[in-house]
A and B are shown apart, each in its own frame.
Chain A
Amino acid sequence: MVKKIFLYVLLAVVSIVGIGFPIVKNPVNWYEYPLIPGLEENAKIIFFHVPTSWLTVIAFFMSTYFSIKYLRKKNIIDDAKAYTSAQLGMIFCILATVTGAVWAKFAWGSFWSWDPRQTSIFAILLIYGALFALRSAIEDEQKRATLSAVYSSIAFVTVPFFIFIMPRIMKGLHPGSADDSTAGPLVNFKMNGNMQVVFYLSLLGFTLLYAWMWDIGYRSYLLKEKIEKSEKKD
Chain B
Amino acid sequence: MFKSMSALFLKDIKSELRTRYSINSLAMFIIVTISVILFSVGNEKLTPFMAGGMFWVIVFFTAMSGLSRAFVSEEERGTTMTLQLIANPDTILGGKMLYNMVLIFSMNIVTFLLYTAVFDSFIIKNPDIFFLVFSLGNIGMAVSSTIIAAIISKAGSKGTLYPVLSFPILLPLMLMLIDLTKLCMDGTTFADTQIEIFFLLCYDVLMMTASFLLFDFIWKD
Contacts and interface: CB of A to CB of B under 8 A. Distances in A.
Interface string A108-152: 000000000001000110110110011001100011001101110
A207 interface: no
B172 interface: yes
B210 to A, nearest CB: 5
Given A137-B158, A143-B221, A146-B221, A154 B199 contact: no
16 contacts: A71-B217, A119-B175, A123-B172, A126-B167, A127-B168, A130-B165, A130-B167, A133-B165, A146-B221, A149-B217, A154-B144, A155-B168, A155-B169, A157-B207, A162-B172, A170-B179
Interface residues of A, number: 30
B101 interface: no
- Name the residue in B156, B171, B179 with the highest tally of chain A Cβ atoms < 10 Å from its Cβ: B171
A119 B176 CA distance: 12
A153 B161 CA distance: 18
B218 interface: yes
Contacts of B217: 71, 146, 149-150
Contact of B214 (A119, A133, A150, A170): A150
Nearest to B221: A143
Given A143-B221, A161-B203, A130 B164 contact: yes
Contacts of B161: 133-134, 137
Given A149-B217, A157-B206, A134 B151 contact: yes
B177 to A, nearest CB: 13
A51 B114 CA distance: 49
A150 B151 contact: yes
B138 to A, nearest CB: 18
Contacts of A137: 155-156, 158, 161
Nearest to B196: A169
Contacts of A138: 155-156
B195 interface: yes
A153 B214 contact: yes
Closest 3 CB pairs of A and B: A161-B172, A126-B168, A127-B168
A222 interface: no
Interface string B168-188: 110110010001000000000
A130 B206 CA distance: 20
